[in-house]
Chains A and B, each alone.
Chain A
Amino acid sequence: KQEVTQIPAALSVPEGENLVLNCSFTDSAIYNLQWFRQDPGKGLTSLLLIQSSQREQTSGRLNASLDKSSGRSTLYIAASQPGDSATYLCAALRGDRGGSEKLVFGKGMKLTVNP
């Protein structure tokens, strides 16, 4: 059974810091790993998707890496801003019988960037 863990559950930092958010998963047989952002009272916004065959993906100030062998993914946020304050979730996509796929989510990490 796939389990996804995000530690710590919350992080508070001053503006401008470079951040590293960690995600670990127990089953390396994943199709891909996706990072999401959730603002209070909102749905999930996809940030980055890393295929199982890839090592990293970049979008603006965000960089995500994937190491399947160690069961880890990292989201790197450069030069953090107050607008980055949100809950960040990682999710591993695994296949199930019947060809379906489902996301297994971590509990998320609540980030607060202070001006």
Chain B
Amino acid sequence: KAGVTQTPRYLIKTRGQQVTLSCSPISGHRSVSWYQQTPGQGLQFLFEYFSETQRNKGNFPGRFSGRQFSNSRSEMNVSTLELGDSALYLCASSFDTQSGNTIYFGEGSWLTVV
């Protein structure tokens, strides 16, 4: 059973550019969440999608956006990149919103903004 797959694994962007990260959840999982991990702030929740609908959003500026497709694959986009956006972006999937389900993470996408 394939795990959560994130692409690309590593990327370098310049300030002002935009970036799109992709996440394929575990087969059958409909909930996809995104988290940002930095040394200073730790892991912070970005947003969560379920059946193509964004159901929750963390405290991030509007430059951070996402979407989910009918096959549950998800993308997140960051526009007008800033140096502070350099981080590990982690995608997580779970079967549904019921509290009994384990949440599985991908390997993450390392974004460096120069």
A interface residues (Cβ-Cβ under 8 A, vs B): 31-32, 34, 36, 41-46, 49, 51-52, 89, 91, 93, 95-108
Contacts of A99 in B (CB 8 A): 55, 97
Contacts of A108 in B (CB 8 A): 42
Residue in chain B with minimal CB distance to A42: B107
**Least Cβ–Cβ distance between A81 and chain B, in angstroms:** 23
Contacts of B43 in A (CB 8 A): 89, 91, 103, 105
Contacts of A44 in B (CB 8 A): 90, 92, 105
Kindly identify which residue among B4, B45, B102, B110 contacts A102, using a CB–CB cutoff of 8 Å.
Answer: B45
B interface residues (Cβ-Cβ under 8 A, vs A): 4, 6, 33, 35, 42-45, 48, 50, 55-56, 58, 90, 92, 97, 99-100, 102-108, 110
Rounded to whole angstroms, the CA-CA distance of A43 and B5 in the bound complex is: 11
Q: Do A100 and B50 contact each other (CB < 8 Å), given the known contacts A31-B99, A89-B43, A108-B42?
A: yes
Contacts of A95 in B (CB 8 A): 99
**Least Cβ–Cβ distance between B110 and chain A, in angstroms:** 8
Contacts of A51 in B (CB 8 A): 99-100
**Least Cβ–Cβ distance between B89 and chain A, in angstroms:** 10
Q: Do A101 and B48 contact each other (CB < 8 Å), given the known contacts A43-B90, A44-B90?
A: yes
